[in-house]
């Protein structure tokens, strides 16, 4: 669900009162050059106020408490939970995409001291926004256990625990997504006890 801030709504009303638009719609599109190249959290958007009748064939329209918003299907999927704001400093609308709060996870390494920091937060963000939404369809999830010397330690749960294809999922799915977003990661170590998997996905 996309939200519209009070400031953004007030700005739209002001533009209508000034005659800039008659029957407004807010168009949100990915900025040129950002499709598929960057993390969803870092994508940039172009937002413009247009006439309601200017809807294109490739766009869908949603209603945000009386304000029509025009999106293409790919953009609508990316903007779940986003908030549309108005910035006086920038003189334009902007999209604020929520970032998952980093979670502290107990370490599995000797000594029990958790290694937590910027790299671990990046990895957790990739897990939350890219990895887990995809493997959730198989009833699985991956947890970040520890980070040490640019090596990340993970545990697979749910349908991924004990799954015959778990190694393939790790190397060709999870590892590929992590390395694309965070090139500094040297290796991924799976700490999962796959023999104990109670509900593997086949």
pLDDT (tens digit per residue) in 28-67: 988 876 555 445 556 788 899 999 999 988 888 888 878 8
Alpha carbons 70 and 36: distance in angstroms, whole number: 20
What's 151's domain CATH number? Answer: 3.30.300.130
**What b/e string do you get for 136-165 counting C-beta neighbours within 10 Å, with b at 16 or more?**
eebebbbbbbbbeeeebbbbbbbbbbbbee
Same domain, 87 and 15: yes
CA distances from 14 to 5, 9, 63 (A): 14, 9, 19
Alpha carbons 44 and 135: distance in angstroms, whole number: 26
Which tens digit of pLDDT belongs to each residue from 70-127? 988 767 666 767 889 998 888 899 888 765 444 444 444 333 344 457 888 888 888 8
Percent over 90 (pLDDT), the chain = 14
Same domain, 59 and 125: no
End-to-end CA gap in the chain: 33
Same domain, 16 and 49: yes
| CA angle 94–97–101, rounded 5-degree value | 145
Which tens digit of pLDDT belongs to each residue from 170-195? 666 788 888 888 899 888 888 776 56
Same domain, 155 and 74: no
Q: What is the edge-to-edge ordering of all strands in the sheet holding 151-158?
A: 140-148, 151-158, 187-190
Specify if 108 maps to a domain: no
Specify if 201 maps to a domain: no
How many CB atoms are located within 10 Å of the residue 167 CB? 11
Specify if 37 maps to a domain: yes
Specify if 109 maps to a domain: no
- The domain in which residue 164 lies consists of 118-196
Is the confidence at residue 23, as pLDDT, over 70? yes
Total count of domains within the chain: 2
CA distances from 65 to 5, 7, 13, 81, 142 (A): 11, 14, 13, 15, 37
**158 torsion bin: left (phi>0), alpha (psi -120 to 50), beta (else):** left
Is the confidence at residue 6, as pLDDT, over 60? yes
Same domain, 79 and 127: no
């Amino acid at each position: 669900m996309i939200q519209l801030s009070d400031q953004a709504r007030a700005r739209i009303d002001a533009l209508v009162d000034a005659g800039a638009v008659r029957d407004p719609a807010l168009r949100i599109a990915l900025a040129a050059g950002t499709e598929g190249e960057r993390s969803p959290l870092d994508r940039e958007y172009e937002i413009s106020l247009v006439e309601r009748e200017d809807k294109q064939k490739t766009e869908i329209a949603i209603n945000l408490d009386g304000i029509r918003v025009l999106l293409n299907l790919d953009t609508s999927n990316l903007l779940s939970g986003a908030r549309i704001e108005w910035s006086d400093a920038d003189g334009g609308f902007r999209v604020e995409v929520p970032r998952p709060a980093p979670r502290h996870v107990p370490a599995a390494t000797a000594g029990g001291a958790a290694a937590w920091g910027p790299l671990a937060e990046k990895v957790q963000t990739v897990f939350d926004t890219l990895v887990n939404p995809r493997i959730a369809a198989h009833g699985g999830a991956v947890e970040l256990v520890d980070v040490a010397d640019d090596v990340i330690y993970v545990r697979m749960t749910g349908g991924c625990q004990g799954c015959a294809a778990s190694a393939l999922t790790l190397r060709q799915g999870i590892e590929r997504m992590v390395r694309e977003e965070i090139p500094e990661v040297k290796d991924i170590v799976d700490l999962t006890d796959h023999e104990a998997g109670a509900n593997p996905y086949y």
